[in-house]
Amino acid sequence: MSNLLTGKVAIVTGGASGIGLAAVQRFVAEGGRVVIADVAQEAGEAAATSLGEAAAFQRTDVTDEASIQAAVDAAVTRFGRLDVMFNNAGSTGDGSSITEIGPAGFDKTFVLDVRSVVLGHKCAARRFKEQGTGGSIISTVSVAGLQGGWSSVSYATAKHAVVGTIRHAAKELAPFGIRTNGVAPGVIMTPLIAKAFGVPPEKADELVQYLVGRLGSKQAMGRYGSAEDVANAALFFASDLSAYVSGTVMPVDGGISSYTLSTSDEEIFAAAQEFARSLT
């Protein structure tokens, strides 16, 4: 490790599992100190304990501004400052088609996936301005925010809105030395994918392995992405290596968003349904 984050303090929302946990672990390995901000208290506390003094858990509901602000306050109280905000928490939301989507499901998806990112920018940027130190804001997008057809209308629209937030904030926050960027994962094999297909949590790892074995070799780079792949991209944006980079969204997708949409999403859906049926 090269200690890219020595002296830096970060908040990672949704940091108790999946991409968020991988980022927490990577940040700590690079010398950073991290607040794990998540609603999953047991998992978050366990993750913080495993990482020792460099990590702390703060129960955080990212749909609530006061809760996000409390995470910022917790970082400052525990570690003395804040340098990085990783707006990672989110969900696939309402999976209804455009002809079936209702206002409630659409709005709920936007609150979790878009409002949380706006509020994360707000709370972190206020702290950065108060410190006078600048800072880095990172947000998890998705290939669904770069190209149509990868997900439901609510999720795709929400992630496109996150891209808009990043681009707007880059201009507004630049005078204060605050940069903002996004990472856009492709198909990343985490337990969250099991939840999206209705597979019981205890079978999540089995589903992931099933999909990797069934379809991984068909991907352009011969494998699916991992949470660690996304964490490495987030590390770049969190570190001073990206000191002159703002307003960008980096795809972490093995190249799939650079060419015509393949049948990957349809194949995953079919294979996951097949796996789910095998459990009954």
Q: What is the mean pLDDT of each run of 10 residues along the chain (280 residues)?
A: 92 96 98 98 97 98 98 98 97 86 93 97 98 97 87 92 98 98 87 70 76 73 86 98 98 83 66 79
Contact predicate 29/235, CB 8 Å: no
Q: What's the pLDDT at 144?
A: 86
pLDDT digits (tens, 9 = 90+) for 183-194: 999 878 776 666
Q: What's the pLDDT at 2?
A: 81
Q: What's the pLDDT at 190?
A: 72
pLDDT digits (tens, 9 = 90+) for 64-115: 999 999 999 999 999 999 999 999 999 888 888 889 999 999 999 999 999 9
Q: Is 244 a catalytic residue?
A: no
| Angstrom distance (rounded) from CA 240 to CA 4 | 8
Strand-pairing partners, residue 87, are 139
Q: Is 78 exposed, middle or buried (0-12, 13-18, 19+ CB in 10 A)?
A: middle
For the chain, percent helix, then strand, then coil, each to nearest 5? 55, 15, 30
Q: Is 9 left (phi over 0), alpha (psi -120 to 50) or beta?
A: beta
Q: Chain-centre distance of CA 139, in angstroms?
A: 6
**Assigned architecture for domain 9-188+225-255:** 3-Layer(aba) Sandwich (3.40)
Contact predicate 115/41, CB 8 Å: no
The active-site residue out of 155, 210, 224, 244 is 155
Residue 13, amino acid: T
pTM beyond 0.85, yes or no? yes
Q: Chain-centre distance of CA 163, in angstroms?
A: 13
